[in-house]
Structures are given as structure tokens and as C-alpha cells.
Structure 1
Amino acid sequence: MGNSMEERLVSPEELDSGSLKKRVWKESKKLWKIAFPGMVARVCSFGMIVVTQLFMGHISELDLAAYGLQQSILLRFVDGILIGMSSATETLCGQAYGAGHYHMMGVYLQRSWIIDGVTATILLPLFIFTTPILRGIGQEEDIAIEAGKVSLWLIPVVYSYVFSLTIQMYLQAQQKNKIVGWFSAFSFLVHVLLSWLFVIKLGLGLPGAMGAFIISSWLLVIGELGYVLGGWCPNTWEGFTKAAFADMLPLVKLSISSGVMICLELWYTSILVLLAGYMKNATIAISAFSICLNINGWEFMVCLGFLSSSCVRISNELGMGNAKAAKFSIKVALVTSIIIGIIFWILCMVFSGEIPYLFTNSEAVAEYVSRLHVLLAFSMFLNSIYPVLSGVAIGAGVQSMVAFVNLGSYYVIGLPVGILLGYVAHLQVTGLWVGLLSGVVVQTLLLSYLTWRIDWEEQVNKASERLGRFFIETTEGSDESSNLA
């Protein structure tokens, strides 16, 4: 690697401080090319969940609370597992694309379908036995019964995630995520139209709202599958192969560490919603807390665009052996995302009184939401920092380290603080949210330190070893090489 690598990592343009603006502009264009379609996709995907909640709120308070409980706990729980498991695809596809191992990306995609599909099936009993589970942990009877109805409708949605999440990461890694943005936007518009038609015009209630959710979710999958299988990814998709079933264990290990990393983060808020169900006026508490989480979550989806772009940029550069470019990409992504976080912080502070009425007609729920607006604003600001740092971890393939960070931040600090303030200090939902925020603050500080300490030259070597371990020669005698030097 010697001198040629040094010449590649430190170009005359990079040594010239006067070219900094040009370098930032060039890197920003690369980031936004990946981030913006990723934002559209994430916002629209999460938007389907939120739009369904909007229409549930106009059916009844009980339906709103039941759906809020299920989407904040069960759907987030399972979605967290599948997003986490799928992020292994993002790591491997990104590094394979950077190294020029294009044919391996299709193999990784098929392996991820198998792993995620099996995982979703294992988790199926949670949806089937929701009502007795909620009864067993002491939730109110009427909420438990209604939540059980909602959970059965969510099963087809979960299986759609098996395909949509992995295909999105596969396409992002090869910078073809514009098409994902278009498909996601179209599916979201269809979802809004169907929800209005089924719930408002036809008065179908819960079945209408959930039916619209299912149709829209699978419409996205059909579009993405059509694009991949229809010949628009000729270099990275060579058809179905038995190789997808071979050498699964290393990918399963990476998928599990990825899954734990993301799950610990998403389950954290799910547990807090569950705790809200034990408070006075549980229906109002759950509704208000889940609305705040959805507002926070929608903004978080924007920031996840930077998580994805950071992951793709870093994994591509590591696959090419360019450590300096990876570090520079982190700086540009972080500064850009923080600026967006400040904008959302201001919007939340200014429009705190109006936002709740988008989700509910209940004065009591709206007042509860408004009381949390300062904490919500600061949560939105922090959303602009730690997703980028998590994207760095996924791109570098160090998910297991972040899993320990999330475990300590959320479950050793955040959750106990939330329980203490919510129940012992009697601050109710406000106390839970302070606990949530304290965990995020600690996580952000630890991830910042972890990113600062990463040896990027070492990560280049690890990426090379990882790709070499997974590499399979093409059946068509491609001249792609496993030499990553």
C-alpha cells in the first residue's frame, strides 16, 4: 500500500487550505445526493405511521391510545430489530461498492431477506398474543383489547419492512436512492388519499385506517422490487443465487450486533410509552406521549437521512481505502445536520401551541403535549447529532461498540432517571421525557468520544479483511478483484 496510498490520501488540493470551501462544497453535494432521497424515504415511511395516527385520532380516543401504544411499543420494537439487522446490509454493500465488488451486493441483499424474514416470523407471536401480553403487564382492559385488534393489522406491514428496508440500503450504497425517494413519496401520497377515502368518506374506522397502511406499505415494496429485478441494477443484481444461503454465520453475527445497536435505541422510547400507561389518566398520557414521540420521530427521520449518507460515504471511502476522505465526510455531515437541528428547535418553540391539534381534537391531550414542548425542542436538537455518529459506526462496521454505549446511556442512566422523576417525584410524563433526554445527552457525548478515538487507518484494513472474507467469484468470470489494497 505504501507510497501510492499516501499519494491517494493526501492530495495537493487537500494540503492547500484555500481549497477548503471547494472541498466542503464537493463533499456536501455528495452527502446531499444520498441524504435528500434518504430523508424523503424515511419521512414518507414514518409519515405513513403518523398519518394513520392522525386518522385514528379522528375515530376515537380509545383507538388513538391503542394505536399509539402499538406503534410506539410493538411496531417500534420490531421495526428496530429489522432496521438494525438490515444495517448490516448497508455496511457490507457500501464497502463492497467502494471496493468494486459489485456482484456481491446482490448476494448480500438476498442474504438479508432470508435473515430478516426469519426474524420477522420468530417475532410473530408478539402480534398474535398482544391482548393477553398487555393484560399480563397490567394495562387497562379496554386499551389491551383494542390494541390486540390493531396488532393483527400490523403483521402485513412488518413483512413489507423485510423487503423495503433492505432494498433501500442496497440502492443507497450504490447511490441509486433517488428512485427510493420517488417510490416512497408516491406511496405516501397514496396512503394519505386512501386513509381519507376509507376513514372519512366511507367511515370504515379501524379497518379502513389499517387497510390503507397495508396497501401503501406493499405498494412501495412492489415498486422497489420491480426496479431491482427489472434490470435497472445490472452490475449489482445478477439474479437469485444459491450463494445467498452460503456462509450466513458472519452476516448473522454482524446483523445481530447491528440489530442490538438500533434496537436498544428504539426500545428505549417504547418502554417509556409503556410506563406512561401506568399513570393517572392513562389514555390521555399515552396519547400525549406518543404524539410527542411521533413529532420527535418525524424530525428524526430527516436526521436519519444524514445517518444513511454518513454510512454510505464512510463505507464507500473505507472500501476504497481512503481514511482521510472518511474523516472529512464526518465533519461536513455533522455540521450540516446540526444546522438543521437548530432550525427544528426554533420551529418547535414557536409553534408549540398549534402542533398538537394536527393529531387530536382533544383539548386535554393537546394541553398535555404543549407542556412538553421545551423538552421536545431539545430532543429535536440532539436528533441532529447522534444519528450522524451512529451512521459513522455503521459505515465503519463497529456497531457492537455502539450497542454498549446505547445500553449504558439509555438503560443504566436514562430509564432509571425517567422512572424516578415520573413516579417518585410525581412529574408524570414530564419526568419520563427528562429521563429520555438525559439518556440521549449521555449517548451523544459517548458517541462523540468514540468517533474521535476511532483509528481510521485501522478501519480501512478491517474493511479490507471483511470484504475478503465474504467475497465470492462471479460465475461469469468477472474481472472484479478481491485485492483491496
Structure 2
Amino acid sequence: MEEERGLVEKTKRSGGKDELEVRSFSDAIRVFTDESKKQWMLAAPIAMTALFTYGINSSVQIFAGHLSALQLSAVSTALTLCSNFTTGFLLSMGSALETLSGQAFGAGQVSMLSIYMQRTWIILIISSILMSPIYIFATPILSFLGQQSDIAFLAGRFALLILPQQFAMAISYPSQKFLLTQNKVLPLAFIAFISLVLHLCALWFFTSVLEWGSTGAAIAFDVSSCAMALFQVIYIMFWCKDVWNGFSWFAFKDLWPFIKLSLSSAFMLLLGDWYGALVMFLTGLLNNAQVTVASASIWLNINSWEYMLVTGFLSATSVRLSNELGSGRPRAGKYAVIVSGLTTLFISLISSSLILATWDKFPLLFTSSKEVQDSASTAVYLLAIVLMITAIQSTLIGSITGTGWQGLVAYINLACYYLLGIPLAAALGFLFHWGLQGIWIGMISGYIAQTLVLITIVCKTNWKGQVIQAEKRLQFWSGEDQ
């Protein structure tokens, strides 16, 4: 790794002075104001990027919902399977890039960002090939899991058609993190917006002009996803020449240690993604599955919209914390977490209040079926609780990613979600015959347990110790300890 060490030495710089300690109310206001400005400048474009990107996914579901309840259930199931079991795996494998790149940028090791991104490209492309059978054999997989045959067949056909989107994501996600850790977020938002406009045009052309139905929707999904990845790579190569050093053979070095680090990140995030997918599959085993799956998909869709909004603070927290730890500023990193937590708490209260106020109106956006509308309007307080937890978790997960604790949190997710949440959801939903409400109560119990554990960990963190850990991590990956 001598060549990599040379790259590091050319760009290494020391961090600045740490943030002053808060000793009065005026100090608290100053820190909150200054940190809020920094986070909003990151979070707003990131949130817009996430919303535009999810708009591509959500518009496909909205279109399917106006075809029929069966089409909505099938498309939602396919997207859930592919997003949570394949795309979710790719995003999870790439989260190690966010930790390393954020801390490297904070330490001034900017030339390493290009190497880290290229390594992640290689890993995610290989992962895409390995995960392709889930798309190819989606119908038998869903049937084995107990899904109704008509939903499984249509979902499997749709999943096969959107296979190219997975490879586009393998290029797009590392590119996003490469730009994000350098605070280059406005170009990401602009590219996402252009991709969404392209998607809506393609969706209209393939579905309304050519009348290809859900097949046309899948093709539009592929076209816009590939276009987004292409636009991001072009921007990096031509407008990031200060950091982009071209393709390098160094990216193929030390792949196995990088894969192991990525796997620890993957297990943390995947256990959370699969949790939502398993809840959907449990819902599909209830009586009148078309209606229950469709109504649950509406709730999850709304939750995903909020997640796309607060993911700006998830990423902003991760970037701000990792940058400060890499710069040797533990107190500044701690304050970044606190400010993000207060902000997302406020957002959670707004979103929950809004959904409660429109409890009988929001289903109209997603479906024309009166039966599905009535089902989605029942026990909306459960959805409001999930919205609150989702917003608060964005700060917690951002803190975990910024510090590199993904391996520890994987065990926490395993215990809270799979030893508590899923068994309780199955018991309440089927043994106690509480149906969809019982499944969601069980799911929420797992979320609450995980959130309380993460809050405890973050509150008891020794931030000075995390600076030392960040330094050791960067020394290892740059080869300075060899």
C-alpha cells in the first residue's frame, strides 16, 4: 500500500480547534444556530435528492394502484422484495464507504476518496450479480413464502423486468456517497430532479402512449435509474478533477478487508430492511390479502416518503460527525448529533400530526378502491407512531454510520427486530386475530426497543475515544500503520 500512503501524505492536513463548551443558554443558542445552518445546507439538498429518487419508485406504485388492487399489491410486493432483499443489500454494503470517506475527508485525505469509491463499485457490481437470482426467481420465492399465486406471478414478472435497475444502483450509490462526503450535494439534487422528470416522461410514454401497463412502468424505472447513474459518473469525471484521479488498479488492492468492513455495515442495515419486508409478507398471509397488502403498502409508502425527507439529516449527521471525528473535534461532533436529534424530533411531531389530521384523505392519493381506502384509514395512530420513530432513528443511524459502529448495531437489530418484533407481530396478528393492526403493533414494539437501546449508546459515548478510533481506522486503510 505504498502508493496509497503517498496519496495520503500529499493531502493530509490537521483538524482545527474544537467547538467551545456550552456553558450558558446563549452558548447553546449559538451552537444550535451555527450547527443547524451547516446541517440544513447538507440536509435540504440531500432530502430533495432522496425525495426525487423515491418519487421514481413511488410514482410506479401510484400508477399501479390506479390499475387495480391486484396490480398495486403485485408491484408493491415486487418492489419490497427487490428493495429490501437486493437493493437494500447493495446500499448496506456501500455504507462502509460513507464512514471511511467522511472521516478521510475530515482528516484531509481527499485523494483516498476516489479509491474508496472504486472499491465500492467493484464490490457492489459483484454483489449485484450474486443477488440477481432473487429477481429471476421472484415468483417461486414469493410462492414459497406463502404469497397468493396471482400476486406472486405478477410480482415475479415485474421483478424480472427491473433487474437492470439493480446494476444502475451499484454505480449510483457509491457515486452519491463520494459527492456527499465532500459536501457536493446541490449537483446530486439537480441530477435526481432531472432523472425524475425523465422518469415521468418515460412512464407517460410507455404506459399511456404505448399502453404497456406495468411492463411499461418497469421499463421507465430502468431507464431513469440508469440515466441517474450515468449523469453522476459524468459529473464526477469532469467536474471533480480535484478529487477524481481516474481509474486506478489500487481499487483492487485489499478488497477482502474492505468487503469485511462492508459486510458489518450490510448486516446492520439489512436486518432493518428485511424487517419491513417480513412484515409485508406476514400481511400477505392474512385473509383478504389483496386489500391488506395494498393498505399496508400505502402506510409503508407514506413512511418511506417521510424517511426520504429525514434521510437528509441521517446523511448530514453522518457526514458532520465523521468529518469532525476525522478532524479531531469530538465536542463539535457531539453537538452535531444533539442538534440533529432535536431537529428530527420536531419533524416527527409535524409529520405525525399531519397524518392524523388527514386520516381519511391520504389513501385517495394511492388507490381508487373504496375497500382499500377504508382499510388504510383504520388505526392511523399506528402509522403516526412509526413516523415519529422513523424521524428519530435517522439521527441515531447517522451517528452509528459516522462513528463506524455498524457491527455492534447489527446484533441490536437482530435482538429487537427478530427476537421481539417479528414473533410478537405474528402472535398478535394470527394467534390473537388482531389482523393488520396486530402485525403493526408487533413491528412498532421492535422499533421502540431498538430506538431506546441506540439512544442509550449514543448518550454514553466517549467522543474523545471515537476520535482516537477514527485515527486508527484511517491509518489502517491508508497503510500508515504498516
Matched, 1:367 2:374: yes
Match of 1:427 in 2: 434
Matched, 1:215 2:215: no
For 2:240, give the aligned amino acid. Answer: C
For 2:283, give the aligned amino acid. Answer: A
Match of 1:189 in 2: 197
- How far residue 73 of structure 1 moved from its aligned partner, in angstroms, is 2.4
- The 3-state SS of whatever aligns with 1:421 is helix
List, as ranges, runs of 4+ consecutive aligned residues in structure 1 with deviation greater than 3 Å: 13-17
Whether the aligned pair in 2 keeps the contact of 1:390 and 1:402 (CA below 8 Å) is no
Whether the aligned pair in 2 keeps the contact of 1:310 and 1:329 (CA below 8 Å) is yes
- The 3-state SS of whatever aligns with 2:286 is coil
- How far residue 10 of structure 1 moved from its aligned partner, in angstroms, is 5.5
Match of 1:344 among 351, 362, 387: 351
Match of 1:9 among 9, 14, 18: 18
1:322-333 to 2 correspondences below 5 Å: 322-333=329-340
Match of 1:204 in 2: 212
Matched, 1:67 2:78: no
Match of 1:279 among 283, 286, 303: 286
Matched, 1:263 2:244: no
Whether the aligned pair in 2 keeps the contact of 1:69 and 1:147 (CA below 8 Å) is yes
Match of 1:82 in 2: 90
Structure 2 unpaired stretches of 5+ = 1-13
Whether the aligned pair in 1 keeps the contact of 2:31 and 2:335 (CA below 8 Å) is no
Q: How many residues align?
A: 468
- How far residue 19 of structure 1 moved from its aligned partner, in angstroms, is 3.3
Q: Deviations over 1:36-65 (max 9, x none)?
A: 111111112222111100111122322211
Q: CA RMSD in A?
A: 1.7
- How far residue 365 of structure 1 moved from its aligned partner, in angstroms, is 0.8
Q: Deviations over 1:219-240 (max 9, x none)?
A: 111110110011x112321000
Note closer, same or farther for the CA distance 1:118–1:383 as it changes in structure 2 (3 Å cut). same
Q: Deviations over 1:144-184 (max 9, x none)?
A: 21111111112111111111111111111000011101111
For 1:172, give the aligned amino acid. Answer: L
Which stretch of structure 1 is more off in the superposition, 36-45 or 342-351? 36-45
The separation in 1 between residues aligned to 2:16 and 2:312, in whole angstroms, is 32
Matched, 1:250 2:257: yes
Matched, 1:29 2:37: yes
Match of 2:424 among 417, 422, 437: 417
The separation in 2 between residues aligned to 1:111 and 1:314, in whole angstroms, is 23
Match of 1:107 in 2: 115
Match of 1:136 in 2: 144
- How far residue 291 of structure 1 moved from its aligned partner, in angstroms, is 1.4
- How far residue 377 of structure 1 moved from its aligned partner, in angstroms, is 0.9
- How far residue 359 of structure 1 moved from its aligned partner, in angstroms, is 1.0
The separation in 2 between residues aligned to 1:374 and 1:189, in whole angstroms, is 34
The separation in 1 between residues aligned to 2:202 and 2:230, in whole angstroms, is 17
The separation in 1 between residues aligned to 2:359 and 2:202, in whole angstroms, is 29
- The 3-state SS of whatever aligns with 1:8 is coil
Which stretch of structure 1 is more off in the superposition, 318-327 or 278-287? 278-287
Q: Deviations over 1:441-477 (max 9, x none)?
A: 11110000011122111111111111111116xxxxx
Match of 1:149 among 157, 164, 181: 157
- How far residue 6 of structure 1 moved from its aligned partner, in angstroms, is 12
Matched, 1:462 2:473: no
The separation in 1 between residues aligned to 2:106 and 2:146, in whole angstroms, is 51
- How far residue 115 of structure 1 moved from its aligned partner, in angstroms, is 0.8
Whether the aligned pair in 1 keeps the contact of 2:344 and 2:394 (CA below 8 Å) is no
Which stretch of structure 1 is more off in the superposition, 350-359 or 91-100? 350-359
Match of 2:54 among 31, 46, 55: 46
Whether the aligned pair in 2 keeps the contact of 1:73 and 1:271 (CA below 8 Å) is no
- How far residue 137 of structure 1 moved from its aligned partner, in angstroms, is 2.9
Structure 1 unpaired stretches of 5+ = 473-481
